[in-house]
Amino acid sequence: MGTPKGLVKNNPVLNTWQQYLNQPNNNNSLSNNDVGALFQDKKGRLWVGTSGGGLNLYDYVNNTFMPFVNVPGKQNTLSNDFVNAITEDQQGNIWIGTSKGVNRMDNYRNTFEHFYNIPQKTNSLNNNTVWCIYETHNKEIWIGTDKGINIFDKKTGHFSFLTKSPNNQGKLPSNQIRTLYEDSYGEFWIGTFDAGICRLNASKKHIAYYNTNTKISLPDNQVWSITEDNNKDIWIGTFNGLAQYNRKTNTITSFHHDDKNSNSLSCNIIYHLLYDNNGYLWISTFNGLNKFDIKKKTFERYYHIPENYNSLSNNRIFSVYKDNENILWIATMGGGLNKYDFKTNTIKAYTEEEGMPNNIVYNILEDHLGNLWLSTNFGLSKFNKKNETFVNYDIRDGIQSSEFNLGAACKTSDGELLFGGMQGFNLFKPEIITENKHHPPVLVTAFKVFNKPHQYQYGNGDTIELSYHDNFFSFEFASLEFSNPDKIKYAFTLENFDKGWLYAEATRRYAEYTNIPPGVYTFRVKATDSQGLWLPETCHLYLIIHNVWWRSLWFKASIVLFILIIIALIIYDRYRKIRRKHRWEKQKLQLEKQLFDLKQKALSLQMNPHFIFNTLNAIQTFILKDNTDQAIQFMGKLSQLMRLILSSTREVYVPLINEVKILTYYLDLEKIRFNEKFDYTIHVDNAIDTEFTGVPPMLIQPFVENAVLHGIMHKKEKGHISIIFKPAKDNIHCIIKDDGIGREKSALLKKEKGLSHTSRGIAIIADRLSLFEEKNIKQKRIVINDLKNADGTPAGTHVEVFLPFIEL
């Protein structure tokens, strides 16, 4: 019965009453006298809720109470100490109603008892940074912290302290404790971070100090490990080598690394020592593992050898442990756990890939069931040696923090394990840390097509049918594990598409697929429990993606028949074309011959032979007059002109800029030859890209030549020739204008000189242009007009040529 004045138990058989009250000096008593809620769970455990003292779990065997209270600023504690109601769900989880919300205690969350510093309690741990834990022969638990030694009384849960005194008389030389050891004489050896070793007798009174400045000196003041051999000698691991204290001679001998001696210590920085009762001392160092033969005083080294899987996985060794099967287990920094089997002389590594929470291992302990417990840099891990599986625990399971400390591990005489770290230490019985036998189902919670959910909820084994265009869909899934849902991992696969299982964390509970071809598929998903073990149960859905009609068999057959018909028609059409080919051949040959003749005539007329001869005579005249510069300039322009003409005659279309250059070189040569008898201008409209606009070659030059020879040369005054290129509809419009004597006067002068030759150049150009005409479409491409002054006298000639063009 719960009352405002404690808990009362009645024995109806004996008719006795027993009252349970809070005892301020007993941490295992009822936490508060005001009891407002009682509940017995399926396991028969009695839960007691108080007003102000939180929740209590009653131990029938020891007649004690385990309190669960609110700890400000600490996660996974009761939200409030005023408990009003307690109940249990089907999974065995305990639900607690408080004045500040509802709390759930996971039935499978294992109880790692956590001890840490509580500022308002003087008998709590005095510092949260725990570096070493040791059980003495009288079953006291000594804990080394950065504030001295805490002596833990498990019965009361209280701590007493052994610290450095101001005058340092008979006390510790430093509060920064790193290792503890009780020898076979009951004397305590206390290693510190900065003051060497303090040696105490059984009554905790000072015997001696050993450091770098004492008569019996150590190689270094930083001491991390101490042990004893069968000869009662004390072995000390420091950060500057190994030290041996000989009790008989009261002397210390040091061993150091020697670069020239391969049988010396591999490294002077020592983390841990283990004596194996076979006369060997195992020394864990910053660079390799050492097996020291105490009799021979020789070291055998073990290193990580790249590409040798039978070597250590990492050279930085934190500690070693020899189990009940004579297997040496090695904790590394970065290489996980290593197993050294003396019988087979083999080394095997276990890392995150095999299920470890982290590859940095500090300490190793073995429980009475043969399991190894590892403190790591990311929680605590239990290793089953038989099936080689890991079960990992983190702060959500009640451990002190994610990070533990080297040396802070102890197995008590009654089989309890203690591990310390940055937030105190945990104490637990390995046998009560049970695996979660609850196998929550995993379900597909949603199915979406183009991110739009289907209204129908699909269950295990259901079938989903999609059309071919539903080619972007996704599955969402979840495990019905509510205790630690963020520790669940998932794996999924789409059979007949995925090559294997794809893995996902609890933060990514979905699978997306795109462009899946038509067919029949099975989607499967599975999950782990909260301890990381894969559960055998899976959830599966069948998926049918229907084929499109144009991918069906009958449609493909129709397509094949259609193609065959098309091929037959093509063959028939080809046959008809072959028959008509002979008729076309004659027409084609005639046209080609006509075009060839026109090209030959055009080539012969493209440059007046008299111009070539006169030009060469002009060059000769320049040379005879010693005007070599003028001759070289003249010859250069002529060679450039000839190169352009020759290259143009091989093409149907040439860039307009080439035509402009031909005209420019030609007019420059005529100006020189005729002593600057005329000026000229050539203008191309900005709308025309001269480099990428192609025109038939050598069509304008004959008109320009006529303007020079028949218009300008017979004029007394200096003449002028203007050439303009501008865009016109489907053509390039070229205008050649001169202010010469005109065609009528030129013809009269020719007649007076008795010249009867008729030029065919303009006619051949017209024939060439007609070849570019489209069928049945005629266009006047050459227009020549005589220019007159106001009084009717000749004023020159105006020629318009409409050139076809293409884009190059």
Q: What pLDDT digit, counting tens, does each position of 362-411 carry?
A: 999 999 999 999 999 999 999 999 999 999 998 878 899 999 999 999 99
pLDDT value, residue 597: 46
CATH of 130-357, one of 3.40.50.10440, 3.40.50.40, 3.30.2130.10, 2.130.10.10: 2.130.10.10
Dump pLDDT digits (tens) for 108-129.
Answer: 555 688 999 988 788 999 999 9
Query: Most confidently modeled of 257-271, 539-553, 779-793?
Result: 257-271
pLDDT value, residue 299: 96
Beta bridge partners of 103: 96
Give domain limits for the chain. 2-108, 130-357, 442-549, 552-590, 606-807
pLDDT mean over 579-585: 75
Q: Which residues of 669-696 are buried (b: 16+ CB within 10 A; e: fewer)?
A: bbebbbeeebebebebeeebebeebbbb
From CA 666, how far away is CA 755, in angstroms rounded?
Answer: 25
Share of the chain above pLDDT 70, in %: 90
pLDDT value, residue 657: 96
Range with the poorest average pLDDT among 222-231, 262-271, 678-687, 785-794: 785-794
Using 50, 70 and 90 to split pLDDT, how confident is the model at 673?
Answer: confident
3-state secondary structure 379-390: EEEEEECCCCEE
Cβ atoms of residues 35 and 6 within 8 Å: yes
Does the pLDDT of residue 161 top 50, yes or no?
yes
From CA 638, how far away is CA 127, in angstroms rounded?
Answer: 103
From CA 307, how far away is CA 322, in angstroms rounded?
Answer: 26
What is the side-by-side strand order in the sheet with 361-366? 361-366, 372-376, 379-384, 389-393
Cβ atoms of residues 594 and 602 within 8 Å: no
DSSP 449: E
Place of tokens 């899946």: 516
The Cβ of residue 777 has, within 10 Å, a number of other Cβ atoms equal to: 6
The residue among 601 and 334 whose pLDDT is bigger is: 334
The Cβ of residue 588 has, within 10 Å, a number of other Cβ atoms equal to: 11
SS3 content of the chain, % helix, strand, coil (to 5): 20, 40, 40
pLDDT value, residue 588: 56
Angstrom CA distances, 758 to 143, 229, 611, 613, 784, stand at 127, 132, 18, 21, 17
The residue among 150 and 624 whose pLDDT is bigger is: 150
pLDDT mean over 187-208: 89
Q: What is the pTM of this model?
A: 0.55
Listed residue (264, 291, 265) closest to 278, CA to CA:
291
Using 50, 70 and 90 to split pLDDT, how confident is the model at 187?
Answer: very high
pLDDT mean over 759-773: 77
Angle between helices 553-605 and 761-770 (to 10 degrees): 180
H/E element, 331: strand 327-332
CB within 8 Å of 420: residues ≥ 6 apart = 130, 131, 132, 133, 143, 400, 404, 405, 408, 409, 426
DSSP for 558-601, please give it: HHHHHHHHHHHHHHHHHHHHHHHHHHHHHHHHHHHHHHHHHHHH
CATH of 2-108, one of 2.40.10, 1.10.3470, 2.160.20, 3.30.2320: 2.40.10
H/E element, 523: strand 519-528
pLDDT value, residue 28: 84
The residue among 69 and 207 whose pLDDT is bigger is: 69
Q: What angle do CA 295, 300, 301 make, to 5 degrees?
A: 150
From CA 808, how far away is CA 571, in angstroms rounded?
Answer: 36
Query: Most confidently modeled of 413-422, 463-472, 764-773?
Result: 413-422
Using 50, 70 and 90 to split pLDDT, how confident is the model at 289?
Answer: very high
pLDDT value, residue 156: 81
Using 50, 70 and 90 to split pLDDT, how confident is the model at 507?
Answer: confident
Range with the poorest average pLDDT among 364-368, 374-378, 450-454, 613-617: 613-617
Provide the 3-class DSSP secondary structure of residue 306.
Answer: coil
Give me the numbers of helices (H) and strands (E) for the chain, helices first please: 7, 55
From CA 634, how far away is CA 714, in angstroms rounded?
Answer: 24
pLDDT value, residue 121: 85
pLDDT mean over 149-174: 84
User: Strand 379-384 vs strand 389-393: parallel, antiparallel, or unpaired?
Assistant: antiparallel
Dump pLDDT digits (tens) for 772-792.
Answer: 765 556 678 899 999 999 988
At the topology level, CATH places domain 442-549 in Immunoglobulin-like (2.60.40)
Using 50, 70 and 90 to split pLDDT, how confident is the model at 435?
Answer: low
Beta bridge partners of 376: 361, 379
Angstrom CA distances, 214 to 148, 218, 220, 237, 557, stand at 22, 8, 11, 17, 101
Using 50, 70 and 90 to split pLDDT, how confident is the model at 336?
Answer: very high
Angstrom CA distances, 414 to 90, 115, 410, 428, 430, stand at 34, 19, 11, 11, 11
Does the pLDDT of residue 549 top 70, yes or no?
no
DSSP for 618-662, please give it: HHHHHHHTT-HHHHHHHHHHHHHHHHHHHHHTT-S-EEHHHHHHH
Residue 607 region, left (φ>0) first, then alpha (ψ -120 to 50), else beta? Answer: beta
Does the pLDDT of residue 608 top 60, yes or no?
no
What is the side-by-side strand order in the sheet with 16-20? 2-3, 6-11, 16-20
pLDDT value, residue 377: 94
Range with the poorest average pLDDT among 63-72, 150-159, 570-579, 621-630: 621-630
From CA 193, how far away is CA 407, in angstroms rounded?
Answer: 13
**Cα(first)–Cα(last) distance of the chain, in Å?**
105
Listed residue (146, 201, 136) closest to 174, CA to CA:
146
Range with the poorest average pLDDT among 48-52, 444-448, 637-641: 637-641
DSSP 333: B
Fold match between domain 130-357 and domain 606-807:
no
Using 50, 70 and 90 to split pLDDT, how confident is the model at 724?
Answer: very high
Listed residue (570, 691, 684, 702) closest to 645, CA to CA:
702
pLDDT value, residue 60: 86
H/E element, 408: strand 404-411
Cβ atoms of residues 784 and 798 within 8 Å: yes
Beta bridge partners of 404: 421
What is the side-by-side strand order in the sheet with 158-162? 130-135, 141-145, 148-153, 158-162
In CATH, the number for domain 606-807 is: 3.30.565.10
Instruction: Report the chain's mean pLDDT, rounded to a whole number.
Output: 88
pLDDT value, residue 43: 84
Does the pLDDT of residue 601 top 50, yes or no?
no
What is the side-by-side strand order in the sheet with 64-68? 35-40, 46-50, 55-59, 64-68
pLDDT value, residue 168: 60
Identify each DSSP E strand in 136-287 by its residue range: 141-145, 148-153, 158-162, 177-182, 188-192, 197-200, 206-210, 223-228, 234-238, 241-246, 251-255, 270-275, 280-285
Place of tokens 């021979």: 296
pLDDT value, residue 552: 67
Does the pLDDT of residue 437 top 70, yes or no?
no
pLDDT value, residue 602: 45
pLDDT mean over 724-728: 95
CB within 8 Å of 28: residues ≥ 6 apart = 62, 64, 65, 66, 155, 156, 157
The residue among 805 and 618 whose pLDDT is bigger is: 805
Using 50, 70 and 90 to split pLDDT, how confident is the model at 613?
Answer: low
From CA 127, how far away is CA 150, in angstroms rounded?
Answer: 9
Does the pLDDT of residue 595 top 50, yes or no?
no
pLDDT value, residue 614: 62
From CA 284, how far away is CA 287, in angstroms rounded?
Answer: 8
